[in-house]
Amino acid sequence: MPIHDQGYRRYTGTRLPHSRTWRAIARSGVQSMLRRRAFVALVIVSWLPFIVRAVQLYAAANLPQVPFLAPTAETFRQFLGQQETFLFFVTVYAGAGLIANDRRVNALQIYLSRPLTRMDYILGKLAALLALVLFVTWVPAVLLVAVQVLFSGSSAFVLENMRVLPAITVLTGFEAVIVSLAMLALSSLSKSSRFVGILYAALLFFTQAITVVLRAVMGERGLAWLSVTDSLTQVGDAIFGLPLSYESSVLLCFVSLLAIAAVSVAVLNRRVRGVEVVA
């Protein structure tokens, strides 16, 4: 008997519904990142501000000599602002290759020849990136609130600042969705993850540079809607109910970010296909 006769048998086990396959894609995406030491190191570094803030909260709760360290809603907003740097690096590192690498090795036709739709594929990739991004924004921010309650020994701060927890969730969620969609869209445009990373950085820095130049020329502090990062800052300030950083309409910034998301979805819809047809 040939050796291969011993290897193939029909499968009689259970089959999961296709609506759950996006989870397998998401899990695989997260696991592949966590296997990379450089990424784990990046995540560890991105949690350093959390430790610094935790020390601040401990000092504020236990040392009456430093009342200026007492937390406010702005403390958490500032913390999220600091995390934006890590958000950028995590998004580039984890997101640039998510679709680009699949395109490089023609994996899309394997994915899409399985019982899943293009939507399942995009959802799986998006979920992987969202999970990684939220791990350096939402998770430490929420933990920081918990640490504050723990160190102070009361939930007075949370009760007095009822807006903080929802604001953290809404802002980090919105931010994560926008940057993840933009990154996935860029990732679907190329087969090179490095090129995608450069494109993403260019998108942020170029819009920022244009805004800065126009502000200098026009002598005003508006135009935040032209810059992705400024728009996020402006929307974040509004969500936290804090004074706005720029003299721009929050609605305009919000619409600007939604437009980026819409364009990203359109790009993904066009680019994520099992077969590329060049007519």
Partner 1 sequence: MSELAGSASPPSADGKEAVITLEQVTVQYGQQAVLREVSAVFPTGAVGLLGPNGAGKSTLIRSLLGLITPTSGRMRVLGHDVAHAPVEIRARVGYMPESDAYMPGMNAVSCVAYCGELAGLPAADAMQRAHEMLFYVGLGDVRYRAVETYSTGMKQRLKLAQALVHDPDLVFLDEPTNGMDPRGRDEMLSLVYDLAHRKGVNVILSSHLLPDVEQTCDHVIVMYKGRVVTHGPMAELKQPRGQVFELRVKAPRGQDAFRERLTAAGLLPHRPATDEGENPEPSAETPGCRSDRAEPGDDEIIRVLVPGHGGARDLFTVAASAGVQVRHLRPSVVTLDDVFARAVGDTEGTR
Which residues bind to partner 1, rule: CB under 8 A?
Answer: 2-11, 13-18, 20-21, 24-25, 28, 32, 97, 101-102, 104-107, 109-117, 273-275, 277-279
Angle of helix 164-187 relative to helix 193-218, nearest 10 degrees, comes to 120
Distance of alpha carbon 219 from alpha carbon 230, whole angstroms: 17
Residue among 109 and 155 whose Cβ is closer to partner 1: 109
Of 188, 165, 163, nearest to 96 by C-alpha is 188
User: Which residue, 216 or 278, is less far from partner 1 as judged by CB?
Assistant: 278
Identity of the residue, 60 or 99, whose beta carbon is nearer to partner 1 in the bound complex: 99
Q: DSSP alpha helices (H): ranges in 105-117?
A: 107-111
Q: Two tokens at 269?
A: 């819809």
* Tally of CB atoms within 10 A around 231: 26
What minimum distance in Å lies between the beta carbon of 188 and partner 1?
Answer: 15
> Which CB sits closer to partner 1, 29 or 236?
29
Task: Report in angstroms how near the CB of residue 111 gets to partner 1 at its nearest.
Answer: 7
The distance of closest approach from Cβ of residue 158 to partner 1 in the complex, given in angstroms and rounded to an integer, is 39
The 10 Å Cβ neighbour count of residue 8 is 6
As measured in angstroms, the least distance from the Cβ of 102 to partner 1 is: 7
257, 232 Cβ separation under 8 angstroms: yes
